[in-house]
Structure 1
Amino acid sequence: MSNKPKAQAKAEARAARLAEIKKAEKAAERRRNLMIAGVAVVVLAILGGVFYFVSRSNDVEATDAGSSKYGVTIGSKDAPHTLVIYEDFLCPACGALEEATGERLTKLADEGKVLVEYRPFTLLDRFGPYSAESASAFGVVLEESGPEIAKKFHDILYANQPAEDAESFPGSDWLIEKAVEAGADEAAVRPGIEEGENDWAKEATKEAFEAGVQGTPTVLLDGETFTGKYEDLWKALED
């Protein structure tokens, strides 16, 4: 009797075990990443305005709000302060930051106290296509519908943010639906959003990396990386 079936069975068993080991390693890595992001989310939820923000990016190039082609600004150019927020629409810590600061920053911007620029780019593409596709869709809406609608689209994406470890992510039809909800004309934005990752997102990502941004969210106050308590941020902006 031939030993080939036994050998083949052993080989298949080894391959199956190896596949399970690799799967477990990937799951462990994902849990570690989620744990890091999750800590930021929990701290924001518990401490709110006294959250101690420490950027994961060091030596980020000094920049002022309104100086990039790859972002959207709110507020007056004559405001005494500028705030730049580098973000990824899939990043849970960015979602928590938006939830904790979005309304208050909008109010301060409306009062002429700060010019805020949101700069989405692609960082978490290792989790799937949504990071790149959402940033690309934002670029399409900004170019086709203007900054006011793009800011509304920005807010809607965070209000409906998918989980970083989701089994599947929203696709182009969902992004188009949210863009239309923000006020975009579907005929104007559909072709670009259906294209998927585009040059806008690629260039925004390139600009962020060249500036030294290594993680999201990265916040710059008056051109310098901000690390400290949010109460210090509010004090600087409101005084």
Structure 2
Amino acid sequence: MASRHPEARIIGENGEGALVVIPTFNERENLPLIVGRLLAAQTGIHVLVVDDSSPDGTGDVAEQLATDDAAGRIHVMHRTVKDGLGKAYLAGFAWGLERDYAVIVEMDADGSHAPEQLHRLLDGINAGADLVIGSRYVPGGALVNWPKRREFLSKGANTYARLALGAKIKDITAGYRAFRREVLEKIGLDQVESAGYCFQIDLAWRSLQNGFTIREVPITFTERAIGESKMDGGVIAESFLNVARWGIQGRTAKFRKNK
């Protein structure tokens, strides 16, 4: 689909105008590392840490990082409940939209998303895309130190989602992505029910359904070196059932429209 934003540069070359939302739960060791790398890579960007009352003190670490940052680029949100990655992102999105950031970025706290590659996503936005996904499965994308079982599950989930939804996105489950604010304003965030990693498929599908331009750019995904993955069987089951439902709904709507 052609860009709807000719001459669409809205992010400064150092990340000015963009907010990176980083959800955390028990990431006290990883958080300073990832935030430090991010602010070194994009000196003008802002960061919002959304902490779900981590018992290991991650929230306190985030507050100290914010206090120590004289430029005021680091912000912290403390949530009193732990109800899923999706809900944490939704809270961060709402915070960013209220403060008029032009672009809002998703990034994991565990180091799997390289801040040094964020410019690829922002360049895609500046080139006119509405949503840019950092993809492991387009030419140039790569996986580092990921267990074969996780790779098999990831590739299987992406294949299943493409077939069920009729979408052409190769890495629709990816969590490294940048949204123009107009996308988040339009797609009905108050109706998003997905709480786990299915949230990523949900938002990409809503973006497609609303006619937004999606672009994938290659990234290198590196398995976390510190801590443990939050993925579990319930997340996989939620994704399987929701994708099947969305696929049926989409095909039914298309059939009725063409009838």
- Report 1 or 2 for greater relative contact order, CA contacts < 8 Å, sequence distance ≥ 6: 1
Larger radius of gyration: 1
Q: Same fold (TM over 0.5)?
A: no
TM-score, normalised via structure 2 length: 0.27
Higher helix share: 1
TM-score, normalised via structure 1 length: 0.29
Higher strand share: 2
